[in-house]
Structure 1
């Protein structure tokens, strides 16, 4: 069994790799974790992870610049229906578009758009950065199994995913109003927070993803 973390020039690749390796090892799951920019590795993966840091437009451009990667992602996610996880901007790329520094086309896998966080409290700074508690907004999803009653995770972002279908928003955080923290649809999930930086809660989320059978 293999997990491929996609390298397209954006993401905390080494940190993510180490966290997925640790989660697999401690859960006794026997996954081979690989960071790769090769479409053939993605095609052969049992699970795929798309990280991302920085501006949406730069990440979208970087992903599309890897020859054959979008076709490989379509095959493994939509044809084979293998589990897929987006992290931070990697999650945002699932949307139809982002209005961060202009209008940029996303993958369009989960209907919605990426819009600025606009807290209703002027004392709250943007970006939203640091630890915050998840609030579950949907029926229990396997990605969120076994988390503590007050799961705190680590965020660094200025934009959020506004889903068209409320059922695709699995969790929020409170930051001058509700801000999307987790999205999901079919065999796809995405976290706005960084599970690789979220200590025990993050490792549980990664373990849940590795065990997930959508």
Structure 2
């Protein structure tokens, strides 16, 4: 069930990213891309860790509720505090003895899922484009002499990010196919991954000699 829900989310991310990419809404597309990368990391961790991944998700849910309770208490929204505490008790009652709420750690999930490259994508998107950071904002502060260079960087990123989305989607498809034992679809996903690798090296500006 976890794999199904994650794959549905990844498929939705892929469709949303494609629509935004075609409209040249780069910031919005990159936000969706980061979500897709996170989902693909979770698919990998789910395939490798199985029941342990379900526990990690349950601990993350409990940690999220804890954070919401703190916010509601600070705003003196005590009805919401009580609702949150009831939900937290429900979640904690289903955790194994000694297991505490804890947020997901993306680097660890990617490493244990065998997809460290996806964490590299995640880190890059978080610092450069998906989040409001000094770098993501200041890179747009240019002068006429720098504009041409920035345009070239933007064109390169547009290609690279599309390949990131395709890579995340295909990795997710492979992993989900394994989980549901859809081996014909697995072979298709593998063939498409090989095709992506060939195609990516033929695009101007992204080859090994560029």
TM-score of the aligned structures, taking structure 2 as reference length: 0.24
In proportion to residue count, which structure has more helix?
2
| Larger Cα-atom Rg | 2
TM-score of the aligned structures, taking structure 1 as reference length: 0.24
In proportion to residue count, which structure has more strand?
1
